Structure 1
Amino acid sequence: MQPAHIQDITLDDQTLTVSFELASKNWKVALQDGWHRSPSVHTTEEQGAADRLAEAVTLIETIRQEWRLAPSSRVVIVYEAGQDGFWICRALQKRGYEVVIVDPASIPVERQARRAKTDRLDAIRLLCCLRGWLRGERDRLHAVRVPEAEAEEIRHLVRDRGQLQKEVGQHRDRIRKLLRTVGCWAQVGPAFATQLERGEVVCHDGAALPGCLRQRLMRECERLALVARQLQELEATLTEQLPETTAQSVAALRRLRGIGQVGAHRLVLELFWRRFNNARQVGSCVGLVPQPYDSGQSRVDQGISKQGNRRVRALLIEMAWMWLRYQPDSALTHWFMRRTATGTSAPSAGKRGKRVAIVAVARKLIIALWRYLKDGIVPDGAELKHG
């Protein structure tokens, strides 16, 4: 009796698959084709980024010659998304290689309490997942969409503004906390540094601030002034640095009541640089879709997935509350009011119900905004700003 033979019909034997396990000290490079049973694992240890990448490329070409693969054979390289970003992908694509960047959380691992884990084993596991993914087993890994270089570059603008806004709040909060240690409840406003220099900021009993504390507060004020100036300069020139199509999308969002400059910029630069095929992809990209757990008699609602861009997800929750305030006649606001009406049998009544319902509003809102930018369909019942 002949044994059953499963033929691989989607992955050519001439395809060379390569996985990179990236680390600061070295890279583990695992290679395998359709003929060798075990992968070949090597280590690249060059110190410079360009030198290490060139060493990895030389290794790939050497193995291709040793295994007698055709010069035109397909080479697919995979590595996990991380702090190295997308420069490796772009550099390899210029050399003619196919590159797949993987979400690290999508790689399946054993569930034993103790399991062996090394960079070598991780590289081999990643290689096996890639070969299965190429055969059509799409649950083996989730590929990350690589943004265009221009979209990635202008994204630094909105992220830098968010970081500067955060630092401004941190410096002001630190100054207030230092003042409270001596019983001073002075307001940290624009004129605080001048008042501090004149000695007008005093302790609770009217005594002058201790010398060391005053010096520390002066240094904090200098850092606060620097960050505030950088934030002001960035906000003044941010719109001018955007491409024309991006600026048009931002202007379109700002025409809706309840959406301001910060929210419009962040949505366009962080999310809408992508192209979505349907509303389901939009909701899953921001992590606002439910994650049910239904196995046997166990049925548990695990809440939302919280995958995707956390900055956009946090912004959408805030934007959903602002939408309820400034768009009271919209269909989304009416839906929320019906779901959270007090004194009724609505499933989302009460404070906790409102927090749950606002997540659904955020998901519906981002889908409505996507349709608004894509097809020009204004959300049902929404009002535009005058002028």
Structure 2
Amino acid sequence: MYLGIDLHKRYAQVAVMDLEGEIVEEVRVKNANLDDLAQRYAGSRAVIEATSNYYHVYDTLAEYLDVTVAHPGKLTLIARSDKKTDRVDAKELARLLRLNSVPQSYVPTDEIREARALVRGRQTLVEDRTKFANKIHGLLADNGITQTVKPLSVEGREFLRELSLPSPWDSLLDSYLDVVETLTEQMTQLEAAIEERAGSLKETQLLMTIPGVSYYSALLVYAELGEIDRFDGHKEVVSYMGLNPTIRESGDSRIEGGISKRGSGRVRWILVQSAYSAVYTCKDAYLSTFFHRLNRRMNSKKAIVATARKLLVSMYYMLVREEVYDPPGVSA
């Protein structure tokens, strides 16, 4: 049997298709009860989409079924359906599975899931803290205070605590500052856990031998890349991270555009920041030489993105060969 499972937050719509392509059962099941369904069809194949909550469902189903995780962005047949409902989606998933036409998504190991949870959790805290810092800036503007203040710094918060504002802005400011301080404490605790995790993994230990790559940067790249042996070469890694240039060909013309920006934006950002650090702070000879050579014939923004791509390629070969950073022509 082929089970197409359209997964939602609390329930799933399931279509069961036989070898001849006939639907033998359609049922809506609570996610908590999917293991009962999986036991009934033990040994069959199933497909789910890589939604935000698929890890637990995948683990539950995989005890009894051969589970494929579909890449949601590549399921164009479902996305373009004229009649899009849960039942239609589930049947289409089952049909694609029967035809071996499901665009598969990578399912990370438990170790990589844990690393992702840590780095993504930190990003959430950073975003939340920035949101409340912006609220504070808005509150100050509402009260005609134009002085530059940094709510994320200790000095800035001390200054803001001393401000005398009319009600209710005084209470709001205190509340926002309390949230910022709480989030800052939580970030400090989480960063300690990230540093400990990065120090315990051989992959991140290798990446941290690169000038400009911190424990957080290393764990983020490792978490988002996953197992390095799933890539056939550095070009696949560059494309997976969206740092490959887009190319448009028509007749005899060939135009290279900007990078594709597929994959994780957070990794592209951290690679660019690490490249900046390697070039300007650490003055790494290998990456600095590459950057400055490019910067003579293109703007610095494009040059640093190309340097980030160069950095990613170095990371790939370091992980594949299990070698520390030792670029050609430069002594580590």
Distance 1:181 1:44 in 2: 51
Deviations 1:40-66, CA, capped at 9 Å, x for gaps: 3401234xx322x034325536xxxxx
Deviations 1:205-258, CA, capped at 9 Å, x for gaps: xxx4212111111111111111111112222343335573x1x43333333222
Counterpart position of 1:76: 45
The partner residue of 2:117 within 156, 159, 162 is 156
The partner residue of 2:265 within 310, 315, 331 is 310
Check conservation: 2:240, 2:263, Cα contact below 8 A.
Answer: yes
Deviations 1:66-100, CA, capped at 9 Å, x for gaps: xxxxxxxx5211111102222222222222x2111
The partner residue of 1:213 within 131, 147, 169 is 169
For the pair 1:269 / 2:223, whether they are aligned, the reply is: yes
Distance 1:234 1:218 in 2: 24
Check conservation: 1:271, 1:312, Cα contact below 8 A.
Answer: no
Distance 2:250 2:15 in 1: 37
Aligned-partner residue type, residue 326 of structure 2: V
Counterpart position of 2:62: 93
Counterpart position of 2:179: 223
The partner residue of 2:235 within 273, 277, 280 is 280
Structure 1 residues 103 and 369, CA, compared in 2 at 3 Å: closer, same or farther?
same
Distance 2:148 2:269 in 1: 32
How many angstroms does 1:318 deviate by?
Answer: 2.3
Counterpart position of 1:380: 328
Counterpart position of 1:57: 38
Gaps of 5+ in 2: none
Query: RCO higher in 1 or 2 (8 Å CA, sep ≥ 6)?
Result: 2
| Secondary structure at the counterpart of residue 144 of structure 2 | coil
| Secondary structure at the counterpart of residue 21 of structure 1 | strand
Check conservation: 1:193, 1:218, Cα contact below 8 A.
Answer: no
Counterpart position of 2:72: 104
How many angstroms does 1:24 deviate by?
Answer: 4.2
How many angstroms does 1:195 deviate by?
Answer: 4.8
Check conservation: 2:13, 2:26, Cα contact below 8 A.
Answer: yes
Aligned-partner residue type, residue 28 of structure 1: Q
How many angstroms does 1:361 deviate by?
Answer: 2.4
The 10-residue stretch of structure 1 (121-130 or 222-231) with the greater mean CA deviation from structure 2: 121-130
The partner residue of 2:28 within 44, 55, 59 is 44
Counterpart position of 2:280: 325
- Rg: which structure is higher? 1
For the pair 1:190 / 2:154, whether they are aligned, the reply is: yes
Aligned-partner residue type, residue 67 of structure 2: V
Counterpart position of 1:121: 88
Check conservation: 2:275, 2:287, Cα contact below 8 A.
Answer: no
Aligned-partner residue type, residue 323 of structure 1: A
How many angstroms does 1:20 deviate by?
Answer: 0.6
Aligned residues: 326
The partner residue of 1:251 within 196, 202, 205 is 205
| Secondary structure at the counterpart of residue 256 of structure 1 | coil
Structure 1 residues 111 and 153, CA, compared in 2 at 3 Å: closer, same or farther?
closer
TM-score (structure 1 length as normaliser) = 0.73
Deviations 1:135-163, CA, capped at 9 Å, x for gaps: xxxxx442112111232123222222222
| Secondary structure at the counterpart of residue 105 of structure 2 | coil
| Secondary structure at the counterpart of residue 188 of structure 2 | helix
Distance 1:142 1:110 in 2: 12
Aligned-partner residue type, residue 360 of structure 1: A
Distance 1:273 1:109 in 2: 29
Distance 2:208 2:8 in 1: 43
Deviations 1:100-137, CA, capped at 9 Å, x for gaps: 1010111233898x82222222222222222332xxxx
Check conservation: 2:198, 2:204, Cα contact below 8 A.
Answer: no
Deviations 1:259-308, CA, capped at 9 Å, x for gaps: 22331232223325443342122112212223434355775545433222
Structure 1 residues 235 and 336, CA, compared in 2 at 3 Å: closer, same or farther?
closer
Structure 1 residues 236 and 55, CA, compared in 2 at 3 Å: closer, same or farther?
closer
Counterpart position of 2:13: 28
| Secondary structure at the counterpart of residue 46 of structure 2 | strand
Distance 1:159 1:304 in 2: 23
Check conservation: 2:224, 2:267, Cα contact below 8 A.
Answer: yes
Q: Which has the higher helix share?
A: 2
Gaps of 5+ in 1: 1-15, 62-73, 134-139, 202-207
TM-score (structure 2 length as normaliser) = 0.84
Distance 1:81 1:115 in 2: 22
